[in-house]
Amino acid sequence: MWGGGRRSRPEGLSEKLHLPTVWGGRPKAGWGAPDLNLLLYGAPGSGKGTQANMLREKFGIPHIATGDMLRAEIAAGTDLGKQAQPILAAGKYVSDDIMIGIVRSRLTQPDCKPGFIMDGFPRTVPQARALDDLMTDLGKRFDRVIYLKVPIEELLERLSGRLVCPRCQRTYPPGTAACAVDGSELVQREDDKPEAVRPRIEIYLEKTVPVLDHYRVGGLVSEIDGRGTIEEISRQVLAAASAPGARRPHPQARVKA
């Protein structure tokens, strides 16, 4: 399903959040939709998926979540899925070569033309460099990198016992019975089990924290405190995605003008 296929959304989320209208409502992908490329950065459990859903709903651009893509491969029993399953269960990273290949083929699909929300990639500096090259090849650039900052102790607490909807991938705190959006029975992700949570945070600190510096150099990072209510965080994320500087013309556009 490659991440972009998750079209369900919480009933009235925009209304609940009182989100400002950006570019006149909720554009759908295609002609007239925004050319907005966003990168969500943060540790496991920082709330990237929740904010990506909000942004997807608001801007009508696909959410590309590499973790969801891998889980779809596992569920479908493909060769890649068989290879990835034990890696995910152990909280480790799938190889850069595989991930770069997956992202390359996803970003070249037509629904990404008007923009996309990248979540879970790049997770290593070589992935970040490969993504730079890929974006150049596609004539695109990131408008903003949104960093959801959450202290490690809180991440460990959030991930342990977290439940997920197997249908729409929304996450819920322990004890929640069913998905508020589609009513599905919630399950625990294999890598949210205690033995995988700590390795995921450790590998994040080792391999993924340096990725932030890669983007800080370009002045693209908006740092947002990932603690607080979903509504408060969503307002800040939306403001960052719509901030001046997030809408700079692309170099190619300047050449043409």
Question: Catalytic positions, please?
Answer: 48, 123, 162, 189, 200
Question: For residues 143 and 191, which CB has a smaller minimum distance to ligand ADP in the complex?
Answer: 191
What is the sign of the dihedral through the CA atoms of 235, 150, 171 and 64? Answer: positive
Instruction: State yes or no: residue 191 binds ligand ADP (CB under 6 A).
Output: yes
Instruction: State yes or no: residue 70 binds ligand ADP (CB under 6 A).
Output: yes
**Contact by Cβ (8 Å): 117, 63:** yes
Listed residue (47, 50, 228) closest to 147, CA to CA: 47
| DSSP of 197-233 | HHHHHHHIIIIIHHHHHHHHTTT-EEEEE--S-HHHH
Stretch of 8-16, 29-37, 85-93, 224-232 contacting ligand ADP, by CB under 6 A: 85-93
Instruction: State yes or no: residue 80 binds ligand ADP (CB under 6 A).
Output: no
Q: Which helix (H) or strand (E) holds 82?
A: helix 79-89
Instruction: State yes or no: residue 87 binds ligand ADP (CB under 6 A).
Output: yes
Stretch of 3-11, 51-59, 92-100, 136-144 contacting ligand ADP, by CB under 6 A: 92-100
Instruction: State yes or no: residue 94 binds ligand ADP (CB under 6 A).
Output: yes
Alpha helices in 6-62 (DSSP H): 13-17, 48-59
What is the sign of the dihedral through the CA atoms of 165, 170, 173 and 176? Answer: negative
Instruction: State yes or no: residue 99 binds ligand ADP (CB under 6 A).
Output: yes
Instruction: State yes or no: residue 4 binds ligand ADP (CB under 6 A).
Output: no
Residue from 3, 34, 67, 115 in contact with ligand ADP (CB under 6 A): 67
**Contact by Cβ (8 Å): 51, 239:** no
What is the pattern of x (binds ligand ADP, CB under 6 A) and - over residues 124-153? ---x--------------------------
Distance of CA 45 to the CA centre of its chain: 11
- Decide: residue 133, CB within 10 A, 0-12 exposed, 13-18 middle, 19+ buried: exposed
Instruction: State yes or no: residue 200 binds ligand ADP (CB under 6 A).
Output: yes
Helix (H/G/I), strand (E/B), else coil: 41: strand
Question: For residues 3 and 34, which CB has a smaller minimum distance to ligand ADP in the complex?
Answer: 3
Instruction: State yes or no: residue 66 binds ligand ADP (CB under 6 A).
Output: yes
Instruction: State yes or no: residue 158 binds ligand ADP (CB under 6 A).
Output: no
Q: Which residues bind to ligand ADP, rule: CB under 6 A?
A: 44-45, 66-67, 70, 87-88, 91-94, 99, 120-121, 123, 127, 191, 200
